[in-house]
Chain A
Amino acid sequence: MMFWILAAVMTVAVTISLLVPLMRPRKKDIDAREFDVEVYSDQLREIERDINIGSLSGQEAEYARAEVGRRLIKASKAEADHAAASTDLTRFGRLAVIIFLPFMALAGYLAVGQPGMPAQPLAARVEPVPDSNSNIQALVAQAERHLASNPQDGKGWDVLAPIYLGLNRMHDSETAYRNAIRLLGSTAARQAGLGQSLFSQSGGIVTAEVQEAFQKAQDLQPDNPLSAYFLALGLAQEGKNEQARADFVKLAENSPPDAAWMPLVREHIQRLGTVAGMGTDQAQGQTAVVIPDSAAPGSDAPGPDAPGPSAEDVAAASQMSNEERLDMIAGMVAGLDAKLRENPDDSAGWLRLIRSHMVLGQRDKAGDALSRALDHFGADNADRQVLLAMASQLGLEPKELKQ
Chain B
Amino acid sequence: MIVELGHYALIMALATALLQSVLPIIGARTRDAGLMGVAPAAAIASFVLILFAFVALTVSYVTSDFSVKNVWENSHSMMPMIYKFSGVWGNHEGSMMLWLLILVFFSALVAFFGGNLPATLKSNVLAVQAWITSAFLTFVLLTSNPFQRLSPAPLEGRDLNPILQDIGLAIHPPMLYLGYVGFSICFSFAVAALIDGRIDAAWARWVRPWTLAAWTALTAGIAMGSYWAYYELGWGGWWFWDPVENASFMPWLAGTALLHSALVMEKREALKIWTILLAIMTFSLSLLGTFLVRSGVLTSVHAFATDPTRGIFILCILVAFIGGAFTLFALRAQTLSPGGLFAPISREGALVLNNLFLTTATATVLVGTLYPLVLEAITGAKISVGPPFFNLTFGPLMIPLLLAVPFGPLLAWKRGDLWAVTQRLYMAAGAALLVSLAVIYFATGAPVMAGLGIGLGVWLIAGSLTDIAMRSGVGKVALPIMWRRFKGLPRSAFGGALAHMGLGVSVIGIVAVTAFATENVVTMKPGETTVGGPFTLQFEGLKPNTGPNYTELQGRFIILRDGQPVSHLTAAKRVFTARQMPTTEAGIYTNGANQLYVALGDELPGGGVVVRVWWKPWVTFIWFGAIFMSLGGIVSLFDRRLRIGAPAKSRAPAVAVGQET
**Residues of A bordering B, CB below 8 Å:** 2-3, 6-7, 10-11, 14, 17-18, 20-23, 25-26, 28-32, 34-40, 42-43, 46, 49, 52-55, 60, 63-64, 67, 71, 75, 81-87, 89-90, 93, 96-97, 100-101, 104-105, 108-109, 112-115, 117-123, 125, 134, 137-138, 141, 144-145, 148-149
Contacts and interface: CB of A to CB of B under 8 A. Distances in A.
Given A53-B485, A122-B65, 6 more contacts: A18-B41, A22-B35, A87-B30, A89-B30, A93-B32, A112-B145
A141 B647 contact: no
Interface string B39-80: 011101100010000000001100111110000000001100
25 contacts: A7-B8, A18-B38, A18-B41, A21-B40, A35-B116, A35-B202, A39-B205, A39-B644, A40-B202, A54-B481, A55-B488, A60-B412, A71-B269, A83-B31, A84-B31, A86-B32, A89-B32, A90-B34, A97-B19, A97-B38, A104-B18, A113-B8, A117-B67, A120-B153, A122-B66
Interface stretch (B117-125, B557-565, B607-615): B117-125
B36 interface: yes
Interface stretch (B9-17, B248-256, B371-379, B623-631): B9-17
A42 B477 contact: no
Contacts of A11: 12
B490 interface: yes
Interface string B643-655: 0111110100000
B15 A93 contact: no
Contacts of B650: 28
Most buried by B among A11, A42, A83: A83
A101 B269 contact: no
Measured as residues with beta carbon below 8 angstroms from the partner, the interface class of chain B is 35 or more
B117 A17 contact: no
B245 interface: no
Contacts of B145: 112
Most buried by A among B200, B481, B645: B200
A7 B15 contact: no
B131 interface: no
Contacts of B5: 3, 6-7, 10
Interface string B612-641: 000000000000000000000000000011
A308 to B, nearest CB: 32
Contact of A108 (B11, B37, B66, B149): B11
Contacts of A23: 34
For the complex, would chain B's binding face be called helix, strand, loop or mixed by DSSP majority?
helix
Contacts of A84: 30-33
B155 interface: yes
B38 A21 contact: yes
Interface of B: 1-5, 7-9, 11-12, 14-16, 18-19, 22-23, 26-27, 30-38, 40-42, 44-45, 49, 59-60, 63-67, 77-78, 116-120, 141, 145, 147, 149, 151-153, 155-156, 200-202, 205-206, 268-269, 340, 412-414, 471, 473, 477, 481, 484-485, 488-490, 546, 548, 577, 640-641, 644-648, 650
A90 B77 CA distance: 52
Given A18-B45, A122-B66, A86 B33 contact: yes
Contacts of B471: 55
A108 B49 CA distance: 15
Most buried by A among B59, B77, B147: B77
Contact of A30 (B35, B42, B119): B119
A89 B153 contact: no
Contacts of A25: 33-34, 37
Contacts, number: 238
B488 A53 contact: yes
A248 to B, nearest CB: 42
Q: Give the top 8 A-B pairs by smallest Cβ distance, nearest first.
A: A21-B37, A121-B63, A34-B647, A90-B34, A122-B64, A53-B488, A104-B15, A25-B33
Nearest to B15: A104
Given A35-B116, A46-B641, A117-B151, A17 B34 contact: no
B489 A55 contact: yes
Given A35-B647, A90-B34, A148-B577, A83 B153 contact: no
A93 B34 contact: yes
A60 B65 CA distance: 66
A401 to B, nearest CB: 34
A46 B641 CA distance: 8
Contact of B120 (A32, A37, A121): A32
Nearest to B493: A55
Contacts of A90: 32, 34-35
B35 A89 contact: yes
B9 A112 contact: no
Given A93-B23, A121-B63, A53 B644 contact: no
A117 B18 contact: no
A119 B648 contact: no
A145 B152 CA distance: 20
A37 to B, nearest CB: 7
